[in-house]
Homo-oligomer: A and B are copies of this chain.
Amino acid sequence: MAKPNELREKGLRLTPQRELVLQAVRQLGHATPEEVAEKVRATQPGINLSTVYRNLETLENVGLVLHTHLGHGGATYHAAEELTHLHLVCSECQSIGDAPIETAANFVNTLSDDYGFKTDVTHFAIYGLCSKCSNKSSK
């Protein structure tokens, strides 16, 4: 999953921990550092949380992973190549829905045209009520 070369090419050393962190992020989709650590521990039980944090940061610096803010708590990490959708986070059931980035295209363009603001719509959650919960509460 994590090819040896892609890390070396970025000037990073190839350590088992680093490879496993990258692999975990790719497999998990959106994962908190804690979840990444847990996944990695399946292979490397001894890995330390701070190593996970440091590697996530390192991998983010070289552009292999990205983080987004989905809720009140901490960040969640994605493989950079998979961050192609909006996150629709439900305030009630905490579910995370996806929508294509294009959904926001007009909005992003308006902000750019009117305010010169270049929006990254994936970095923060789109917050609200999912269809299930909004049906439930209107009944």
A interface vs B, CB < 8 Å?
69, 72, 75, 88, 91, 97, 99, 103-104, 106-107, 110-111, 114-121, 123-131, 134-135
Contact = CB atoms under 8 A, between A and B. Distances in A.
Contact of A97 (B91, B104, B117, B130): B117
Contact of A129 (B99, B117, B124, B130): B117
Nearest to A103: B110
A123 B103 CA distance: 19
A127 B120 contact: yes
Q: How many identical chains are in the complex? A: 2
Given A91-B123, A117-B126, 17 more contacts: A69-B69, A69-B72, A88-B111, A97-B117, A99-B114, A103-B114, A111-B126, A111-B128, A116-B130, A117-B129, A117-B134, A118-B129, A121-B127, A123-B127, A123-B128, A124-B126, A124-B127
A109 to B, nearest CB: 11
20 contacts: A72-B75, A88-B111, A91-B123, A97-B117, A99-B115, A99-B117, A103-B107, A104-B107, A106-B107, A111-B128, A116-B135, A117-B126, A117-B128, A117-B134, A118-B128, A118-B134, A119-B126, A120-B128, A121-B126, A123-B127
Contacts of A128: 111, 117-120, 123
